[in-house]
Amino acid sequence: MRTRWAVGWRFWAIFSELLLIADCRNRVLFCPHPQPLSHIVGEGSRAFPLANWRLLPCVLAACLLTVVLTACQPNNASPSPAATNPTTPPPADQPPPEPDIPTFRYKIVNTYPHDPQAFTQGLEFHDGDLYEGTGLKGKSSLRRVELRTGRILQIHRLPSEYFGEGITILGDKLYQLTWQNGVCFVYDRRAFRQITQFRYDGEGWGLTNDGKHLIMSDGSEVITFRDPDTFAEVRRITVRAQGKPVKNLNELEYIEGEIWANIWYSDIIARIDPSTGIVKAWVDLEGLPVPNRDIEAVLNGIAYDRQNKRIFVTGKNWSKLFEIELVPPRNAAPTQDDATR
Ligand SMILES: [Ca+2]
């Protein structure tokens, strides 16, 4: 605004000077322009404005020019507030693009027998034995199994209305989800005696723990962390790979700071960052030698022996259970898998 006034004032000064020049040429008094100004104001001018109407077009042109230039003058001297104090926030920091997700393969280290009648929904290794939860109404159970022989050492059968799902051991307690019954049973780990039970909304699929919280899947891309004393949800993550949700997360295992999750109806395990939900790697178990495998006999069991860093996998009604080592993809950077091989 100040610049516009300055421009207007400048042209008003020129206009006034023209008046003065005209007056000078007529009165020759106090004239600041000793040279002839006929080229500016014209020959034979007289006292302006009333004395010399021939100067009128020039004056009007000067006024018009003043208005036009004032209107068009860029207001450089008074930058808009937006220029000095931008109200538009800078672009939010974009998360760095996720690198390509490496896919690990596997090597079979050992093969063990597995009950082909076990519709496996949960698997865990603890103190030298396997613990297994099985599903289907009327066939659901909780088992302790000898690894080497596959022999059932201890079993608790669920009432026929319950469809058993994932299991996990935390402290002296063993937790078992149900699929659509909305009930989590809590047992004494040694006696398989029920201590209590919790209710929850939605479906129960996989269960594991990080030593502090229960970690639960429900078939979606969401994993919830729950208080082991109340089963209340503490936090949740949404599992994504390259920005896209990964659904059908099923049986879970917590391995060296990662959540491993079977993806239902596939031979793929997602290795998930528990703080962000981002899939850090895949494990492709295609080709495991499972005889008589029908469409429902999907991969659905991961167990980890923390003391000896052994990984076990099996599936629904599989007659075998495999101990595997991971085989990294070519050019893969060294990872913690070196510790689990
Ligand atoms: Ca497991």
Q: How far is the CA of 54 from the centre of ligand 1 (A)?
A: 103
- pLDDT attached to residue 10: 53
Q: How far is the CA of 29 from the centre of ligand 1 (A)?
A: 108
Question: Model-level pTM?
Answer: 0.70
Q: How far is the CA of 221 from the centre of ligand 1 (A)?
A: 17
Q: Could you tell me what percent of the chain has a pLDDT over 70?
A: 68
Q: How far is the CA of 289 from the centre of ligand 1 (A)?
A: 21
Q: pLDDT digits over 48-103, tens only? A: 343 444 544 544 554 454 444 444 343 333 333 333 344 444 455 566 666 799 99
Q: How far is the CA of 111 from the centre of ligand 1 (A)?
A: 18
- pLDDT attached to residue 94: 63
CA distance 282 to 286: 12
Two tokens at 187? 């047992």
Which residue, among 92, 74, 93, has the nearest Cα to 83 in the 3D structure?
74
Q: How far is the CA of 239 from the centre of ligand 1 (A)?
A: 18
Average pLDDT, the chain: 80
Do 246 and 279 form a contact (C-beta atoms < 8 A)? yes
Q: How far is the CA of 195 from the centre of ligand 1 (A)?
A: 21
Q: pLDDT digits over 136-180, tens only? A: 999 999 999 999 999 999 999 999 999 999 999 999 999 999 999
- pLDDT attached to residue 82: 36
Q: How far is the CA of 301 from the centre of ligand 1 (A)?
A: 6
User: What's the DSSP call for residue 93?
Assistant: P
Q: Which residue segments constitute the domains of the chain, with CATH numbers given? A: 2-77 (no CATH), 103-330 (2.120.10.30)
284, burial (CB in 10 Å: exposed 0-12, middle 13-18, buried 19+): middle
Strand 279-284 and strand 103-113: the pairing is parallel
